[in-house]
Amino acid sequence: MQEKEAGMLGRVNHIAIAVPNLAAATASYRDVLGARVSPPQALPEHGVTVVFVELPNTKVELLEPLGEGSPIAAFLEKSPSGGMHHICYEVDDILSARDRLVAGGARVLGDGTPKTGAHGKPVLFLHPKDFFGTLIELEEV
């Protein structure tokens, strides 16, 4: 097992891109870029449908809105053609990472309780204003 340096972050798990049309985005990554893509997966708890583009060193998550009040819908209103939505980093222990971040002044979105993410593992999101305009997702591995 590779030891992490002083920080809590592991590798980049995925970079998420919000898209207005998941089928078209999937076809573009698959047919134009030649990437391997997963079947669509609905995540009602997060208000999105996702497809993962599998790369040798990480994944790209394509997201489209699912249901009323999807956080992706508001994002796409501001950026109708889509764009980078968040970056997901792996952590060994999501609860200790959360506690360390909160103690350092970072804001965790929601009530601070991890939800189950697309990979069936606990995830949390950190407020983008605390990280230079970037929404950060943490996933326990």
> What is the per-residue DSSP string for 46-106?
TTEEEEEEE-SS-EEEEEEE-STT-HHHHHHHHSTT-EEEEEEEEES-HHHHHHHHHHTTP
pLDDT digits (tens, 9 = 90+) for 64-118: 999 888 999 999 999 999 999 999 999 999 999 999 999 999 999 999 999 999 9
CB 58 within 8 A of CB 14: yes
Confidence at residue 127, expressed as pLDDT on a 0 to 100 scale: 97
Please pick, among 61, 64, 137, 139, the residue that the annotation labels catalytic: 137
Asked whether the predicted pLDDT for residue 4 surpasses 80, the reply is no
For the chain, list the domains and their CATH numbers: 12-140 (3.10.180.10)
The residue assigned the tokens 């109708």 is 80
CA 31 from chain center: how many Å? Answer: 23
Report the predicted TM-score, pTM, of the whole model to 2 decimal places. 0.91
Q: Is 137 part of the annotated catalytic residue set?
A: yes
Confidence at residue 25, expressed as pLDDT on a 0 to 100 scale: 98
Asked whether the predicted pLDDT for residue 6 surpasses 80, the reply is no
Phi-psi label, residue 64: left if phi above 0, alpha if psi -120 to 50, beta otherwise? beta
pLDDT digits (tens, 9 = 90+) for 34-70: 999 999 999 998 999 999 999 999 999 999 999 888 9
